Structure 1
Amino acid sequence: MAAYDEIADWYENEFLPASTPGDPIGIRASLAELLGEGDELCLELGCGTGVHAAQLRELGWRPVGVDLSAGMLAYADNRLPVARGDAARLPIADAALGAVVAMMVHTDMPDYPAVLREAARVLRPGGTFVHVGVHPAFCGGFADRTDPEAVVIRRGYLDGYWTKDSWTTQGLRNRVGATHLPLPALLRAFLDAGLQLTGFAEGGSPVPTTLSISAIRT
């Protein structure tokens, strides 16, 4: 997508190096807890520049990635095997994979329910899907996080929409926009895709920034 191609250099060379070191919003901890160790192929949906591949390898998985942005994939190609493609129409056979992950990308995907259906399709029975994303109840165009001690939730949480409204000009959302699903709609999309929910985690403090979900294909 053009918007992500345009920000690929900024994302790799400015945004990532400026990110807070460690794991302040629990992305790594949630992935380790909900995915665990494995030794099969693991597909990362919307892999971007491939920054999560190293942790997937640490857990024993063999990561591969798919993304629509050629600009992002130019960086990811150095980190994991990649293909350019739409996460809602994966060029992968049914029941081919042991694990699929979506790392902080569901707000970048206007039709995330379709993405979940594709994740379920390419997973083998018993395969694991892990979603690590911004918290639908506390992040979005409706959430003012200027004061981390007192996040202000304005009107808009119940409305599914695409927006470039953002509480900060230092991140991604005012550049590429974001879609929003209220928590019930997000969970219902998992069930509608045929995924059985198996675990949850929140990350960030004092108000959670991330909500992570694990599920299996039955």
Structure 2
Amino acid sequence: MAIAAYDEIADWYEEQFLGAQCEDPIGVDNALRTLLDRGDGGTCLEIGCGTGIHAASVRELGWTPIGIDVSAGMLRHARARLPVAQADARRLPIADNSVAAVIAMMVHTDMPDYPAVLRDAARVLRPGGVFVHVGVHPCFCGGFADRSDGDAVVIRPGYRNGRWTKASWTDQGLRDKVGASHLPLPDLMHAFLDAGLLLERFAEGGAPTPAVLAVRTRKPHERRDWSVERTE
């Protein structure tokens, strides 16, 4: 498998980036705990699990976590926290209709074809299963957003242009190192619907301007073709 972008920074991410974070600074863990249903010991798959830092919360919520990631470097750290496999999120090595919950935590901008990831997540979910997305807020984070002022966000041109970039307001984060893909809010919402997932609840995190948008969706018991039914 090809070297993934995070392989080169996996040790820095685990030892320095995560170590410098205060406790849940932008509400990522809070969003997960707010939107993920209580489990009964069933499997919860984390797509793009990285170093596995969310496994403890998933267990506390009553689930058995497993993870996949394309980065061998990140998985080297994750193996101490949960069972993992190295895989492309667009082609999950998991049977159809086999897991009760899937989560994606702050990773959708690392996945240039996130709509395809959502389609495969919907494939492996059981009917009635839940998918929780927690990601950077598409309206206030990206190459177009300058967040250097703690009390305001300056939105520059570029929000409507979904693209990959390494542009970042800080050199202390991830995006200047590995880049990020951007989906405007309507494109992100349509990707859930086009995957056949039903939108249920939403949450935002971070202050004073949200840095996180979280969405809970569910796989219906009877699939509906939302890509045909929705109005452009």
TM-score range for the pair, normalised by the shorter chain length:
over 0.9
Q: Show the counterpart of 1:197.
A: 199
- 1:130 maps to 132
C-alpha distance after superposition, 1:172-199 (max 9, x if no partner):
0000000000000000000000000000
How far does the alpha carbon of each residue in 1:9-28 deviate from its partner, in whole angstroms, 9 at most, with x for none?
10011111011x22221111
TM-score (norm 2): 0.92
Q: Identity rate of aligned residues, in percent?
A: 68
Q: Is the Cα–Cα contact under 8 Å of residues 139 and 185 in structure 2 kept in the other structure? A: yes
Contact 2:45 2:102 in 1 (8 A): yes
Alpha-carbon distance between aligned partners in 1 of 2:5 and 2:67, rounded to the nearest angstrom? 19
Match for 1:55: what amino acid? Answer: S
User: What one-letter code is carried by the residue in structure 1 that aligns with 2:25?
Assistant: P
After superposition, give the CA deviation of every residue in 1:21-72 in whole Å (9 maximum; x if it has no partner).
Answer: 2222111111011003102100000000000000000101000000000000
1:2 CA displacement: 3.2
Deviations 1:111-136 (A, max 9, x none): 00000001100000000000000000
* Unmatched segments (≥5 aa) in structure 1: none
**Counterpart Cα distance in 2 of 1:2 and 1:44:** 18
Q: Secondary structure at the match of 1:42?
A: strand
How many residues align? The count is 217
After TM superposition, the structure 1 = structure 2 runs for residues 87-166 of structure 1, keeping only pairs within 5 Å, are 87-166=89-168
Moved over 6 A (4+): none
**Residue correspondence of structure 1 range 11-90 to structure 2 within 5 A:** 11-19=13-21, 21-39=22-40, 40-90=42-92
State the SS of the aligned residue for 1:169: coil
Contact residue 4 and residue 70 of structure 2 kept, 8 A: no
**CA deviation after TM superposition for structure 1 residue 146, in Å:** 0.4
Q: Residue 150 of structure 1: CA displacement?
A: 1.6
Letter in 2 for 1:96: S
| Amino acid paired to 1:30 | A
Question: Which residue among 206, 216, 219 is the counterpart of 1:217?
Answer: 219
Deviations 1:59-104 (A, max 9, x none): 0100000000000000000000000000011011100000000000
CA RMSD across the alignment: 0.7
Looking at structure 2, the residues matched to 132 and 67 of structure 1 have their Cα atoms a distance apart, in angstroms, of 16
Mapped partners of 2:37, 2:167: distance in 1: 35
Provide the TM-score with structure 1 as the length reference: 0.98
- Distance in 2 of aligned mates of 1:162 and 1:148: 25
